[in-house]
């Protein structure tokens, strides 16, 4: 990857991360940690790998994304806004009455959202169905599935993975967001996940594990996955919950905090200010 392209992806990631924090601070609460951990994969998808057209969200030849960990909707909304699917100001209507940006994605409300998600596990099955339909139509479009590590407590995920592997669905790429924490604590303490790479390989997936906070590594893994035909594809993203903001990474309960104290509000605003500075620096370097 050339340096300019890398910086452009890093710029998009910085903007998305800033938007997530700013919109949740404005709302006063929200799913922070798991939104921040998928910022880089969102930036790589919408900045390079995922075919889309903001002016024609229902473009027939577009790639599809299913965010099975639907509570990370703020990350999706932010990247959609930054790519021009709707005005950025709309981000600050998150969870308002009558909003087109509900807490979990709804395909009937938000331009660019192709599948309603939020009930954990179900997105794995719907992604498999979408990819099956696209293949039967002769489409060369990819379906990208993002599933959370805590979400993998749900048996429906593994039923879907068995289906995907059985039919050697090489038009679907599964991303596991391995941020190691779920709603109630560390995944290893709640339901030990063991080794995701070994598990997915045992299911028949060509599986890679990369630093999920590195846009170059994520992009390279996607490109590599697309070279493998006739087998199911998985990329395990080694991530940090709350990634990109040290205070949020270290926060004990960073799944869905409430910004209801002066200290937390200041922490969030300081993060927005720092990310704005990062955005400006990257824009200057690219210019």
Query: How far is 225 from 240, CA to CA, in rounded Å?
Result: 23
The model's pTM? 0.97
Q: For residue 270, what pLDDT is reported?
A: 97
Nearest to 182 by CA among 154, 155, 156, 148: 148
Q: What is the pLDDT along the chain (287 residues), one digit of tens a residue?
A: 899 999 999 999 999 999 999 999 999 999 999 999 999 999 999 999 999 999 999 999 999 999 999 999 999 999 999 999 999 999 999 999 999 999 999 999 999 999 999 999 999 999 999 999 999 999 999 999 999 999 999 999 999 999 999 999 999 999 999 999 998 899 999 999 999 999 999 999 999 999 999 999 999 999 999 999 999 999 999 999 999 999 999 998 999 999 999 999 999 999 999 999 999 999 999 99
What is the dotted CATH code of the domain comprising 3-286? 3.40.50.970
**Count of other CB atoms within 10 angstroms of residue 274:** 17
Domain range annotation of the chain: 3-286
pLDDT at 22: 98
Instruction: Name the H helices within the chain.
Output: 3-27, 33-36, 39-44, 73-82, 122-136, 155-166, 187-190, 196-203, 215-226, 246-250, 262-286
- CA nearest neighbour of 175 among 208, 141, 134: 208
Burial class (CB in 10 A: 0-12, 13-18, 19+), 57: middle
CA-wise closest residue to 37 among 185, 174, 175, 205: 175
């Amino acid at each position: 990857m050339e340096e300019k392209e890398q910086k452009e992806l890093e710029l998009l990631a910085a903007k998305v991360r800033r938007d997530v924090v700013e919109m949740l601070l404005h709302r006063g609460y929200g799913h922070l940690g798991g939104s921040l951990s998928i910022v880089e994969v969102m930036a790589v998808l919408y900045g390079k790998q995922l075919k889309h057209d903001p002016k024609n969200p229902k473009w027939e030849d577009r790639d599809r994304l299913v965010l099975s960990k639907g509570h990370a909707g703020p990350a999706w909304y932010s990247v959609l806004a930054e790519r021009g699917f709707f005005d950025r100001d709309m981000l600050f209507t998150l969870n308002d009455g009558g909003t087109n940006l509900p807490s979990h994605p709804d395909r009937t409300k938000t331009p660019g959202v192709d599948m309603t998600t939020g009930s954990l596990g179900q997105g794995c099955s719907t992604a498999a169905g979408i990819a099956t339909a696209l293949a039967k139509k002769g489409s060369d479009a990819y379906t990208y599935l993002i599933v959370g590590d805590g979400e993998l407590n749900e048996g429906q995920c593994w039923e879907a993975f068995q289906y995907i592997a059985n039919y050697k669905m090489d038009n679907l790429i599964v991303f596991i967001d391995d941020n190691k924490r779920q709603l109630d604590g560390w995944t290893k303490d709640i339901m030990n996940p063991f080794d995701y790479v070994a598990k997915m390989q045992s299911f028949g997936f060509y599986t890679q594990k990369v630093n999920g906070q590195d846009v170059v590594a994520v992009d390279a893994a996607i490109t590599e996955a697309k070279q493998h035909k006739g087998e199911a594809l998985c990329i395990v993203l080694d991530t940090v919950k709350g990634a990109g903001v040290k205070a949020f990474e270290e926060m004990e309960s960073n799944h869905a905090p409430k910004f209801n104290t002066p200290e937390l509000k200041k922490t969030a605003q300081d993060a927005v200010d720092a990310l704005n500075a990062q955005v400006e620096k990257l824009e200057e370097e690219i210019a």
